[in-house]
Chain A
């Protein structure tokens, strides 16, 4: 059997779980959870350095080394295309010319729902500027198609609101997006527990990106391990092809040879 790999921007990955690094208790827990998740692509945020505060403070990239992981800087917290583009350029400098970014341009703080108008604007600039863009978007198949046509390297519709843990609320739209996409479609945001991740993978999503579902679990390291298994199980179930749903029973044991 051909090896089952996820290809993003020309690079192959064996894990289909992408994880964030936010909301952990400390860097040690972050490192252990990421390790347990088996993820190869790890998101980070870009923020102002604390000036004059404890210069010896460990840096996230010392724990999540760019030598070991593909670092995916995000534009979280950006509400305009200009801010998102600026953040991506800073990230590229920070990571020595690394072009892969996660674009997210948000609409408001209450929902963190994507602002698609600004997202499309930023997308255009970033692609012209040579970035490989994985884009967080709403579950609108038309917007997703536009992003693909503009040159996105992955489309990442939300399963439900960021950090909500409500699961995949829009499976039909995500299916429509996947049907017409020729680039990887990932569910980004909304996963609450292992079954949600498995459902996304069983539907045929190429991968899942999550942060809070792991970081906000009572035991994040154990949840990271659970998510790893759920992603693998969901992927295998998708490849295996599920049985058709039937209205009535169908006996598993043969009817021949029953004793009288």
Chain B
């Protein structure tokens, strides 16, 4: 199935969890925050959150800024 990840279309296995996506992206344990369809998904819920077709996922981190 397809999802939108940081504005780009990505194909993931149907039924996969948010945690699996994060592992696949090699972002496990990194300081990130995740939003699905504009709702924040707390870290504690990553494992139990199933991705759905067409989900718009944003993964953000801190970068230099003033």
Residues of A within 8 A of B (CB): 20-24, 30, 43-49, 51-52, 55, 59-61, 71, 73-74, 76, 86, 89-91, 93-95, 162-163, 189, 209-212
Query: What are 27 A-B pairs at a CB distance below 8 A?
Result: A43-B65, A45-B62, A46-B33, A46-B60, A46-B62, A49-B30, A51-B5, A51-B10, A51-B59, A55-B25, A59-B31, A60-B61, A60-B62, A61-B31, A71-B62, A76-B66, A86-B35, A90-B58, A91-B62, A93-B42, A94-B32, A94-B33, A94-B60, A94-B62, A95-B31, A95-B62, A211-B66
Contacts of B58 in A (CB 8 A): 48, 90
Report B6-42 residues with CB < 8 Å from chain A CB: 6-8, 10, 25-27, 30-35, 38, 40, 42
Q: A89-B40, A90-B35, A94-B32 are in contact. Are A49 and B64 (CB under 8 A)?
A: no
Q: A20-B66, A86-B38, A94-B32 are in contact. Are A46 and B61 (CB under 8 A)?
A: yes
> Which of A89, A93, A212 is B43 in contact with, Cβ under 8 Å?
A93
Contacts of A94 in B (CB 8 A): 31-33, 60-62
Contacts of A162 in B (CB 8 A): 66
B66 touches A55 (CB 8 A): no
Contacts of B64 in A (CB 8 A): 20-24, 30, 44-45, 60
Residue of B with least CB distance to A210:
B66
CA distance A40 to B58 in the complex (A): 30
In the complex, what's the smallest C-beta–C-beta distance from A232 to chain B, in angstroms?
Answer: 21
CA distance A23 to B65 in the complex (A): 7
CA distance A90 to B34 in the complex (A): 7
CA distance A60 to B33 in the complex (A): 14
CA distance A163 to B65 in the complex (A): 12
Which one of B7, B27, B33 has the greatest number of beta carbons of chain A within 10 Å?
B33
B60 touches A48 (CB 8 A): yes
7 tightest CB-CB pairs across the interface, nearest first?
Answer: A45-B65, A20-B66, A211-B66, A55-B26, A93-B33, A94-B33, A21-B64
Contacts of A48 in B (CB 8 A): 6-7, 58-60
CA distance A45 to B58 in the complex (A): 15
CA distance A47 to B59 in the complex (A): 8
Residue of A with least CB distance to B41:
A93
CA distance A90 to B57 in the complex (A): 12
In the complex, what's the smallest C-beta–C-beta distance from A181 to chain B, in angstroms?
Answer: 22
